A and B are shown apart, each in its own frame.
Chain A
């Protein structure tokens, strides 16, 4: 019984994220903004997949642990990109990633 209670209580517990999570978030940010601005969820997922094929995660060495949080600035900037720019950039993901210097710090072309 105790095992079951602990098991149910432990579902979805806090856990360490994979190291490349910060890069995966950029892909989902591109997909999200595509869906929001162009109203096309399938195009959004297609751009997530294009991103995953086109870039590899290249995380820098951090001087201080709290700098890890700053790496998410790329995803945050992309997720807030103006719709005019989203429509203008389209599948040109380099243009998307030029929106924030944080992107160049974590991503390399595949």
Chain B
């Protein structure tokens, strides 16, 4: 393995880590607009909120997610070099996006009345865009570990200069869970209020970050509905229905040409409805999503196969140390000329692997490869044909 890495590094060195030493992006191109959209999106606010909900509501005390999307945008650039493959020519330079999410939770009450549990949590998100240095793209999630730990000290930061971006955001708050309702709330670095309310028995939930005010119109994003309803939570046997989800999501979309101004009516929200039936007969998933609005359409349709125990259900023990997940389907994007996106159906695929260290579920490592992932395309519509690589580390308290 180490030898392979060294050989790969040596090969990369021979090929040049950077295709061109001195380059400049060309304005007015769709690729340049995509690059601007990639760095201006406030995806990290949604990213931090979704991370807090998905990863910090259970028994986990540490969650670390590292993501890299290579080729999120392709930007035409002029190479001023006098020698080299792209010297004195216009070529397409990939823009890579990376993110590091860190979450920590400290239990305060473990088993109170009505099964009450209380914890304080901290979640941070550091996002970065890199062009022209693929080696840096692969290393940036690890390099951003320190800013992820110290996000409140660094403060909420978002810097876009040219086509480079560095953004930090964080949430600090508390989580109170009981048999009746669970509430997770916190303060975000963007001076907003993060709120997640969930009724665990019927899996009814509502999740948002409120900005300047407390009305729904101030929401930076909204997600609500039923997520992973399990009949076993009501004391019934599951004949194989699995986990059922039906929820609505409203996400902000980046405006690539906001500096140009004068635009009117540009779709700036993505409103979608999602249906999922997961863990059917312990092995199969079905996912579908519908996009609302002027270009309403079936947005996603996919099926997945996974090993038993992939989903951690409350009344079942995970038996396997190694778990696999494979998903394939279609994603259907609308026309978005501003980003140079011609709408249509594209294939989507995802492969995941979990290594649960021991059977005590105290430490788990998850690796994921994603191609045209619908969740990524919801945030970066132009990132089709990009490859996403995710690594997640989870640590929970031993029972």
Q: Give the interface of A toward B (CB within 8 A).
A: 1-2, 5-6, 8-9, 11-17, 21-22, 25, 28-29, 31-32, 34-42, 44-45, 47-48, 65-66, 68-69, 72-80, 82-83
Which 6 A-B pairs give the minimum distances between C-beta atoms?
A12-B71, A39-B265, A76-B28, A31-B337, A36-B263, A44-B337
Name B75's closest neighbour in chain A (CB-CB): A14
A44 to B70, CA, bound (A): 28
B29: nearest residue on chain A (CB-CB)? A25
Counted as pairs of residues, one from A and one from B, with CB atoms less than 8 Å apart, the total is 156
Determine the chain B residues whose CB is within 8 A of the CB of A79 once the complex forms: 27-28, 33, 257, 260
Contact status A32-B337, CB under 8 Å: yes
Identify the closest chain A residue to B3 (Cβ).
A2
Q: Which of B130-157 contact A (CB under 8 A)?
A: 132, 134, 138
Complex contacts, B91 vs chain A, CB 8 Å: 14-17
C-alpha spacing A76/B260, complex, angstroms: 11
7 contacts between A and B (CB under 8 A): A8-B387, A25-B30, A28-B337, A32-B340, A41-B334, A65-B88, A76-B27
B4 touches A5 (CB 8 A): yes
Q: A25-B30, A28-B337, A37-B262 are in contact. List 19 more A-B contacts (CB 8 A).
A: A6-B12, A14-B86, A14-B92, A14-B94, A17-B90, A25-B28, A25-B29, A28-B30, A32-B256, A32-B338, A35-B338, A39-B265, A41-B294, A41-B295, A41-B338, A48-B342, A66-B88, A68-B78, A72-B90
Q: Classify chain B's interface size.
A: 35 or more
Residues of A within 8 A of B76 (CB): 17, 21, 25, 72
> Residue-by-residue, is B225-269 near A (CB-CB < 8 Å gives 1, otherwise 0)?
000000000000000000000000000000011001011111100
Query: Given contacts A29-B28, A32-B30, is CB(A69)–CB(B90) below 8 Å?
Result: yes
Q: Does B7 contact A (CB under 8 A)?
A: yes
Least CB distance from A10 to B in Å reads 9
B89 and A16 form a contact (CB under 8 A): yes
Q: Report the minimum CB–CB distance from B16 to chain A (whole Å).
A: 10
The answer on a CB contact under 8 Å between A1 and B4 is yes
Q: Which residues of B contact A37 (CB under 8 A)?
A: 262-264
Contact residues of A: prevailing secondary structure? helix
In the bound complex, what is the Cα–Cα distance between A52 and B35 (angstroms)? Answer: 24
CA distance A41 to B245 in the complex (A): 31
A73→B28 CA distance, assembly (Å): 8
Residues in B neighbouring A74, C-beta threshold 8 A: 28
Against A, the Cβ 8 Å flags (1 = close, 0 = not) of B84-118 are 00101111111010000000000000000000000
Asked whether B357 is an interface residue with its Cβ less than 8 Å from the other chain, the reply is: no
Cβ-closest chain A residue relative to B265: A39
Q: How far is the CA of A77 from the CA of B33 in the complex (A)?
A: 14
CA distance A37 to B56 in the complex (A): 42
Evaluate contact between A14 and B19: CB separation under 8 angstroms.
yes
Contact: B78 with A80, CB < 8 Å?
no
Are A9 and B138 touching (Cβ within 8 A)?
yes
Q: A12-B386, A13-B94, A65-B88 are in contact. Are A45 and B337 (CB under 8 A)?
A: yes
- A42 in contact with B70 given A28-B30, A36-B263, A82-B262 (CB within 8 Å): no
- Kindly identify which residue among B132, B336, B387 contacts A11, using a CB–CB cutoff of 8 Å: B387
CB-nearest residue of chain A relative to B338?
Answer: A32
With a CB–CB cut-off of 8 A, which chain B residues contact A44?
335, 337-338
Question: In the bound complex, how far is the Cα of B337 from the Cα of A34, in angstroms?
Answer: 8
B389 within 8 A of A: yes
Chain B min CB distance to A11 (Å): 4
* Cβ-closest chain B residue relative to A65: B88
Q: Tell me the smallest distance from the CB of B23 to a CB of chain A, in Å.
A: 9
B337 touches A48 (CB 8 A): yes
B29 touches A75 (CB 8 A): yes
Given contacts A16-B89, A35-B337, contact A9 B8 (CB under 8 A): yes
Q: Which residues in B have their C-beta under 8 angstroms from that of A1? A: 1, 4
